[in-house]
Chains A and B, each alone.
Chain A
Amino acid sequence: MLIGLFETLRTHRVPVSLREWLDLMAALDRDFAFADPQEFFHLARTTLVKDERHFDRFERAFAAYFDGVAKIDPTLLAQIPEDWLRQSFQRLLSEEEKAKLQALGGLDKLLEEFRKRLEEQKERHAGGSRWIGTGGTSPFGAGGTNPMGMRVGPNGGGRSAVKVWDQRNYRALDGDADLSPRNFKLALRRLRRFAREGAAEEFDLDATIDATAREAMLDVKFRPERHNAIKVLLLLDIGGSMDDHIKVCEALFGAAKAEFKRLEHFYFHNFIYSSVWRNDSLRMSERIATSDLLRRYNADYKVIFVGDAAMAPYEITHVGGGIDDFGGSEEPGEAWFRRIMAHFRKVVWLNPTPRNQWGYTMSNQMIRELVDEHMYPLTPDGLTEATRWLAK
């Protein structure tokens, strides 16, 4: 029963486990969300989704599932909420009501009617604020005289069943969304958490006294120092179509700057060659040799590249391939990149283009190989993944 929904949720990347699914089944068994799709929606969300960042995905999955079943084959719809509707009905109706229902053509007739209404409603969807009619003697009217007063959707108060999951109220909370001013805070929180990790240990007086008293002998305790240890070298691709994203990212790290022990940032154009820039104007005079970076910053610095990794393959592989490689260097960008990989212990690449488009550019694949597959999308979730690895 309803197992299709479970699968749809998984394909929409809502992390649901069997345990939670069984919780939902148990709640349905207890007559929660009885015959009310809207309540069912909320019950499913409360039992299956544990993070508001996944609400948007959940809503889309829910819509896809219910639209899907309604569209493909109306009889499928009967299979899904029907099992559950049917059971609930049988339990709820008095004998007298059941007899009346029989007179009206029985439960099957009613469910068929239900599906028809649903179809009609879909056609009028544009302006429709009601899913199933709530009026007078309709079998679906909430307070109607029909013994089958089946409550589907709004109970008068202007609530709309379908609308609940079509509103996408939680889009801005999705950790998978682009870094925008709206989810900036979320991303910042993740970054700060990262900055605070990896602290050294300090002597813990209270714990030592406690442990010593317990054991009746000296037992020295340590605790993680409150102080930050992480050092970051940020390298930003500037001067292309991704500038807006890069700026957001720069602002993000800027906002978290105080939390890091050190945060240094430089700019490059498309790919890394013999030099980088100190500021985003890309002026000749403001350059610093890449070899100096390697000398100046030790292997502990976490290196974070930010860029779309989209360019012609020769810009990576050929000597003089980079349009901005004025250094007259004898080496291709690739060689410089490998040098960075060899020098620093942790290197990641954050990419503002959505992950599902990465496969389309050759250069993206090449860079992913160069960076040992540590390329992550520039989203709050991507940032979490990246920092999790960096902090290891």
Chain B
Amino acid sequence: MKFDGTERYVATNELKLAVNAAIALQRPLLIKGEPGTGKTLLAEEIALALDAPLHTWHIKSTTKAHQGLYEYDAVSRLRDSQLGDPRVADVRHYIKRGKLWQAFDEDRRAVLLIDEIDKADLEFPNDLLHELDRMEFHVYETGETVRAKQRPIIVITSNNEKELPDAFLRRCFFHYIAFPDRPTLQRIVDVHYPGIAQDLAARALDMFFELREVPALKKKPSTSELIDWLKLLLADHIPASALAERDPAKAIPPLYGALIKHEQDVQLLERLAFMHRRAGRG
């Protein structure tokens, strides 16, 4: 089965190629790109398109590799033993399955998303090499070996906060989601708002791209912000004519709160607009 994008997700040909090659050759697919360019959504859409169960493992700075396999809740067991709970006899009661185990345990081929792997500490990816290669691991407490019934499709996202180890990278296929060009973004808008008035969409896109060009912005708005902003414009019935001024340095876009999240960026735009108005008067 091939991944070909979905009704809700616009995938470029390169992205489709990367996904399909990774699936066919059973390699984890590492996805990077600006925030909000659909990295996380991709895994969800692959699962949807291939009708596969999805398991998402969100990584935090404190996440350890073994938590993806299982966790042994020794504290509860100690407590139960003091309370004389009979469950204590069976260690399996205290083993909590991690996301990897859950994905391994699916009868159908699952999609496993390891989201934001760069949040974890430097050793994290290396600690998973063996499990990702062999698709199995050992549970010391019970002596059993867990093997994937079906090798899951593994998608890994990173926001580049840390460098990933070479040994890990060699095992992955890699795709960098470049910020969408205008036609692609137009398509993304169309899948989200099929009935949107074309002049409104066109002006909104003009403004959006201009805004991304404003120098010194702390955070450029990205696809996800554009989608949120359009939703507000549509909900408030903002007409295309309200977006007549495309240069955000001259007039702040209506409902800009969805596009610009940083207080400093808002101030920057306000200052630019103010200077522009004053120049216009003087």
Residue positions of A touching B, CB distance < 8 A: 15, 17, 19-20, 23, 26-27, 30, 32-33, 39, 42-43, 46-47, 49-52, 55, 169, 189, 193, 209-210, 213-214, 216
Q: Which of B72, B160, B173 contacts A47 (CB 8 A)?
A: B173
A20 to B27, CA, bound (A): 11
Given the known interface contacts A50-B170, A51-B174, A189-B161, the answer about A213 and B17 at a Cβ–Cβ threshold of 8 Å is no
Given the known interface contacts A19-B170, A30-B24, A193-B162, the answer about A43 and B17 at a Cβ–Cβ threshold of 8 Å is yes
Q: Which residues of B have CB within 8 Å of A33?
A: 17
Q: Would you call A49 and B161 a contact (CB within 8 A)?
A: no
A-B contact pairs, 9 of them (CB 8 A): A19-B170, A27-B24, A27-B25, A42-B18, A46-B174, A47-B173, A189-B161, A214-B72, A214-B74
Q: Which residues of B have CB within 8 Å of A47?
A: 21, 173
Q: Which residues of B have CB within 8 Å of A32?
A: 17, 20-21, 24
CB distance from B258 to the nearest CB of A (A): 24
**Bitwise interface map of B from 137 to 177 toward A, beta carbon under 8 Å scored 1, else 0:** 00000000000000000000000111100100110111110
A17 to B171, CA, bound (A): 11
The 6 closest A-B pairs by CB, nearest first: A50-B169, A213-B74, A46-B18, A52-B176, A214-B74, A42-B14
User: B83 near A: Cβ within 8 Å?
Assistant: no
User: B30 near A: Cβ within 8 Å?
Assistant: yes
Interface size on B, residues (CB 8 A): 30
Chain B's closest residue to A27 (CB) is B21
Chain B's closest residue to A190 (CB) is B163
Given the known interface contacts A42-B18, A43-B21, the answer about A216 and B78 at a Cβ–Cβ threshold of 8 Å is yes
Q: Which residues of A have CB within 8 Å of B99?
A: none
Q: Which residues of A have CB within 8 Å of B161?
A: 189
User: B178 near A: Cβ within 8 Å?
Assistant: yes
A32 to B22, CA, bound (A): 11
User: B75 near A: Cβ within 8 Å?
Assistant: yes
A15 to B167, CA, bound (A): 12
Chain B's closest residue to A26 (CB) is B25
CB distance from B76 to the nearest CB of A (A): 9
Q: Which of B72, B169, B173, B178 contacts A46 (CB 8 A)?
A: B173
Q: Would you call B78 and A213 a contact (CB within 8 A)?
A: yes
Q: Which residues of B have CB within 8 Å of A169?
A: 178
User: B55 near A: Cβ within 8 Å?
Assistant: no
Chain B's closest residue to A214 (CB) is B74
Q: Which residues of A have CB within 8 Å of B18?
A: 42, 46
Given the known interface contacts A55-B176, A213-B74, the answer about A50 and B30 at a Cβ–Cβ threshold of 8 Å is yes
Q: Which residues of A have CB within 8 Å of B13?
A: 39, 42
CB distance from A282 to the nearest CB of B (A): 30
Q: Which residues of A have CB within 8 Å of B178?
A: 169
Q: Which residues of B have CB within 8 Å of A30?
A: 24-25
**Bitwise interface map of B from 163 to 203 toward A, beta carbon under 8 Å scored 1, else 0:** 10010011011111010000000000000000000000000
Q: Would you call B78 and A49 a contact (CB within 8 A)?
A: no
CB distance from A51 to the nearest CB of B (A): 7
**Bitwise interface map of B from 72 to 87 toward A, beta carbon under 8 Å scored 1, else 0:** 1011011000000000
User: B39 near A: Cβ within 8 Å?
Assistant: no
Q: Which of B72, B162, B170, B176 contacts A20 (CB 8 A)?
A: B170
**Bitwise interface map of B from 1 to 20 toward A, beta carbon under 8 Å scored 1, else 0:** 00000000000011001101
CB distance from A55 to the nearest CB of B (A): 7
Q: Which residues of A have CB within 8 Å of B160?
A: 189
A47 to B25, CA, bound (A): 10
User: B246 near A: Cβ within 8 Å?
Assistant: no
Q: Would you call B75 and A210 a contact (CB within 8 A)?
A: yes
Chain A's closest residue to B72 (CB) is A214
Q: Which residues of B have CB within 8 Å of A216?
A: 78
Q: Which residues of B have CB within 8 Å of A19?
A: 170
A19 to B169, CA, bound (A): 11
Chain B's closest residue to A164 (CB) is B14
Q: Would you call A49 and B25 a contact (CB within 8 A)?
A: no
Q: Which residues of A have CB within 8 Å of B30?
A: 50
User: B109 near A: Cβ within 8 Å?
Assistant: no
Q: Which residues of A have CB within 8 Å of B162?
A: 193
A320 to B75, CA, bound (A): 72
Chain A's closest residue to B61 (CB) is A226
Chain A's closest residue to B79 (CB) is A213
Q: Which residues of B have CB within 8 Å of A39?
A: 13, 17
Chain B's closest residue to A32 (CB) is B21
CB distance from B222 to the nearest CB of A (A): 15
Q: Would you call B74 and A23 a contact (CB within 8 A)?
A: no
A307 to B234, CA, bound (A): 56
Q: Would you call B170 and A17 a contact (CB within 8 A)?
A: yes
Q: Would you call A23 and B173 a contact (CB within 8 A)?
A: yes
Q: Which residues of B have CB within 8 Å of A26?
A: 25
Could you say which of A27, A33, A50, A51 has the most chain B C-beta atoms within 10 Å of its C-beta?
A50
A19 to B77, CA, bound (A): 45
Q: Which residues of B have CB within 8 Å of A46?
A: 14, 17-18, 21-22, 173-175
A39 to B18, CA, bound (A): 10
Q: Would you call A50 and B174 a contact (CB within 8 A)?
A: yes
Q: Which residues of A have CB within 8 Å of B173?
A: 23, 46-47
Q: Which residues of B have CB within 8 Å of A27?
A: 21, 24-25
Known contacts A32-B21, A49-B174, A216-B78; can you find 4 more A-B pairs with CB under 8 A? A23-B27, A27-B25, A42-B14, A51-B169
Q: Which residues of B have CB within 8 Å of A214?
A: 72, 74
Q: Which residues of B have CB within 8 Å of A50?
A: 30, 169-170, 172, 174
CB distance from B58 to the nearest CB of A (A): 19
A145 to B174, CA, bound (A): 37
A213 to B18, CA, bound (A): 46
A30 to B24, CA, bound (A): 8
CB distance from A366 to the nearest CB of B (A): 34
Q: Would you call A210 and B74 a contact (CB within 8 A)?
A: yes
Q: Which residues of A have CB within 8 Å of B175?
A: 46
